[in-house]
Structure 1
Amino acid sequence: MGGWGVMEYEFHFVVDGISVDDDEAVGMVHDTFGGLLTYHRGRHFLDIAESGANAIDAAHRIVVRLRKSLPGLRLLRTDPDLVGVSDIAERVERSRQNVQQWVNGERRQDKLPFPDPEGVAGRSPVWRWGDVNAWLAQFGEGDGVHTPTREEALTIDFMLPKWQRTLDDGLPLVHFAAAGAGDGRDREREALQRLLEGTLAFPGVLERIAAIPRTEQQRLTVVCAVLPDRLSSVVARIGHDEVWAVLAYQGAEGELRLQPVGTAKASGAIPVASLGLGPDATVGDLLLVQTNGPDDTPVTPITPVGLD
């Protein structure tokens, strides 16, 4: 079920609804999540790590996990972890002059340019450590910790209120994933995702989709695919900690189809082998089975299918 690169990301959130004086909450953060809750200048901060296909996916996951264990906690935004030249030099154990040469473009000119500063503190420029760390990764340097870049952090900050409102309403967070990439069909998958996002905005639609069998009730992965995509690539996009997802694609007449799919561990799923589909079967092959059945008997589209 691998192949898409799950990585651990570290987050520094500004939070509310929790206090360092609450021993039970502090213990939960440490024991369950391996995190650290601190208080500084009138604000609470949460340092925590989570795995995901990318930083946004990891943030999506940690929001769900935290809500289940600490329902009163609110993640307000990510903290940018701003650093100046001296801070960077200290973290990577280089001289200040060495770092200044990177900033000025006097060294390592054959690589991507040093990231733009986030702003100015006093008279000195400051950068997001996530951006600097990603730049240093080109040379095998940095601290080896994966943190959100500026673009990822802005997306996460924008989505945090929406994610938490959705959970407040008792609905699952939907995570969209593409079944493939770089094969010339990316635009088709992106168009399908936009269609789905618009569809889910209609009243009652998300509730009906949320009723599809799955183990994780507060998170729903929807894999957007085109007919030539292999079913093996679909199951590869199911989260490392999930056994159920929803396959979304457009049928022969352009109609939107939603198919419950699970891994081999999904209880109650019908194995694709029993439908006459082999290891190289595509989404289009599944559509044919749904239309005609393995023995000219149509298979109901919402039948949960288990993918090996």
Structure 2
Amino acid sequence: MQHYHFSLTLAGVTSETPELEDSLFASGCDDGLVCFYGKSVYVEFDRESENFAKAVLSAINDIESGGSGATVNSVDANLVGLSDIAGLSNMSRQAIAMLKDGTRGPADFPSPVQRLKGISPLWRWADVAEWLHEKGKLSSDLAANARQLEIINIALQLRETKQRQIIECYSSLLANPLKLAEFCH
């Protein structure tokens, strides 16, 4: 068994929810630290499990079955900036910036996915972690955990959206070029 560190962002509760900490502790979150950002609530876990996905999913189950009214919105950060990448990879921000710019190592760093025009672009952590692993700068376990994190976050987003059927329709269209072409014309 290994220990996994991760944070879960909660909905349905605030920093003012009575007896929140006691409720979460009683539901099995004795390995989590309840934290607040303003009125928002997140729980930082150090959970022992067979693998990362089981650690995260068991924590989600413990939170949501505890009777506090809390649901889980997300796991850690799926989108990351250069400083986040540096912290997650135990490298300096300068080293990451040099890898991104191609002044150090191969010039094939993953492309950012959001805020490309801004001063703080964002990358998918799973893409960067996989790239860093391929370059020998991150362990295979951390890269695999990053991919699991992305998948669990997508599942949480799909669970919460009221437009799930539309998303499934678009996914089907995007997966089938002939249907997509027919739809667009």
Asked if Structure 1 and Structure 2 have the same fold, meaning a TM-score greater than 0.5 normalized by the shorter chain, the answer is: yes
Gaps of 5+ in 2: 161-185
Change (3 A) 1:139 1:162: closer
Q: Percent identity?
A: 22
Change (3 A) 1:28 1:118: farther
Q: Is the 8 A contact 2:78 2:149 kept in 1?
A: no
Q: Is the 8 A contact 1:89 1:95 kept in 2?
A: yes
CA distance in 2, matches of 1:71, 1:87: 31
Question: 4+ runs of 1 displaced by more than 6 Å?
Answer: 144-147, 161-164
Q: Is the 8 A contact 2:9 2:41 kept in 1?
A: yes
CA distance in 2, matches of 1:108, 1:74: 42
State the Cα distance separating 1:161 from its structure 2 match: 7.8
Gaps of 5+ in 1: 1-5, 165-308
Please say which structure displays the higher CA radius of gyration. 1
Partner of 1:9: 4
Give the structure-2-normalised TM-score. Answer: 0.56
Secondary structure in 1 aligned to 2:34? Answer: strand
Change (3 A) 1:14 1:26: same
Q: How many residues align?
A: 154
CA-based RMSD: 4.1
Please give the residue correspondences for 1:151-162 in structure 2 after superposition, counting only pairs within 5 Å: 151-160=147-156
Change (3 A) 1:141 1:155: closer
Give the structure-1-normalised TM-score. Answer: 0.37
Instruction: Give the letter aligned to residue 94 of structure 1.
Output: S
Q: Is the 8 A contact 1:11 1:148 kept in 2?
A: no
Higher relative contact order (CA 8 A, sep 6+): 2
Q: Between Structure 1 and Structure 2, which shows a larger proportion of helix residues?
A: 2
Change (3 A) 1:10 1:90: closer
Q: Paired residue for 2:47, among 31, 45, 50?
A: 50
Q: Paired residue for 2:92, among 91, 94, 101?
A: 94
User: Is 1:85 matched up with 2:85?
Assistant: no
CA distance in 2, matches of 1:154, 1:86: 19
